[in-house]
Copies of this chain bind each other. A is one copy, B any other.
C-alpha cells in the first residue's frame, strides 16, 4: 500500500461519525447492514450518512451491493488488514527494535 493511499484511508476513519459507521458495519459481520438501518442505529440525517458512506466507499474500506430497494453496506476486510499491516511495517521499518511482541496482535483471517 502506498503512503498516500494509507493516509487517505486513515483520514476516512479519522472522523468520529465515520469511525462509528465503520465499527457498526464491522459488527454487522458478513451480512452487512442496509443504509437505512445504519441511519436508525446511529441517528444521523440520511444525507449526512450518505456523505460519510461515500467517503468510506471512495477509499475502498466499505463496499455496497443493491438488494431490491435497499443498499447493503459491508466492510472490506482485506483492505483494512492491508492498512493495519502497512501501519505495523511503518512502526517497525528499518528499526533494530523489532523483537516479537510478548502478546502479538492477531488479526482474524478474512471470512
Contacts and interface: CB of A to CB of B under 8 A. Distances in A.
Interface of A: 3-4, 6-16, 18-20, 22-23, 26-27, 29-30, 75, 77, 80-81, 84-85, 87-88, 90-102, 104-109, 111
The prevalent SS among residues of A at the interface is helix
Contacts of A6: 19
B26 A95 contact: yes
A85 B101 CA distance: 13
B27 A93 contact: yes
A7 B15 contact: yes
A74 to B, nearest CB: 12
B101 A109 contact: yes
Given A30-B97, A84-B87, 9 more contacts: A3-B16, A3-B20, A11-B11, A26-B91, A27-B93, A75-B91, A92-B107, A104-B107, A105-B106
